[in-house]
Structure 1
Amino acid sequence: MVIPPVRLDRVTKFLKPYVLRMHFTNKFVNAQVVHTPTATVASSASTQEKALRLSMEKAKENTRDVAAAAKIGKILGERLLHQNIPAVSVFLKKDQKYHGKVKAVIDSLSAVGVKLI
């Protein structure tokens, strides 16, 4: 069992509690929401998940394009609302711009009803 690091109260009150992180490979789209004070993953969605991957293969959809990224954002948003997490902040890496797959994930999250901070 991994024990999460303990942070001081003066540090945690300035942290955004839930942060969206995205990772794109040549084959898959991954997105996860991290609870920063405890450094744990609150929820995640990926095109590598068996059920989603099999359904996309049956429909002959691609697991790495913009449509797949939008589907991942929708699934992640539904999971977040089911866990009573109403808002997340977005963490973009240096090379990520609000365009293409990144835009698809963020827009589909906000379309489901998750607020972006």
Structure 2
Amino acid sequence: MRKRSILLGSDSSQPSDMVIPPPVRPPRIIDFLKPYVLKMHFTNKYVSAQVIHTPTATVASSASSQEKALRSSLGTTRDVAAAAKIGKILAERLLLKDIPAVSVHLKREQKYHGKVKAVIDSLRDVGVKLL
């Protein structure tokens, strides 16, 4: 039992919260990456969107209908109106961080319709440019 706990890292002498560094990419690949990429995630209950800084693989800004401050202002947390509100809030947060343009990353099954269209159009309406 002792041997297994050492292998799994549950020993009390080892730190349990390890920080995983972002992936290191060669400089020639970084030149061709889009600097900021918008990724959206929709569930049956919530809408969330985040902008990822690709060279460092970190989240630059995000907005979700799960946030307590936003839940009270949203009627429902899962429809097209909620997606538009999330896009507007994300755009305002991006402009506060001086991020003027993002690239849109759609999954293979996502189409420019419905909630996806609402998020992207509200980003564009606030003033964020799409690459």
Q: Which TM-score band (shorter chain)? A: over 0.9
Pair 1:23 & 2:41 matched: yes
User: TM-score if structure 2 supplies the norm length?
Assistant: 0.84
Q: CA deviation at 1:62?
A: 1.2
Give the CA deviation at 1:6.
1.4
Runs of 5+ unmatched residues, structure 2? 1-18
Distance across 1 between alignment mates of 2:123 and 2:73: 21
The aligned amino acid for 1:89 is: S
State the identity as a percent.
Answer: 76
TM-score between both structures, scaled by the size of structure 1: 0.94
How many Å apart are 1:4 and its aligned residue? 1.1
Q: What one-letter code is carried by the residue in structure 1 that aligns with 2:89?
A: I
Structure 1 counterpart of 2:120: 106
Residue 54 of structure 1, CA deviation: 2.4
Which entry has the higher C-alpha Rg, 1 or 2?
2
| RCO higher in structure (CA 8 A, sep ≥6) | 1
Aligned to 1:75: 89
* Structure 1: segments with no counterpart, 5+ residues: none
1:44 aligns with 2:58: no
* 1:92 and 2:106 matched: yes
Root mean square deviation of aligned Cα: 0.7
Match status 1:116 vs 2:130: yes
Q: Tell me how far apart the structure 1 counterparts of residues 126 and 20 of structure 2 sit (CA, whole Å).
A: 32
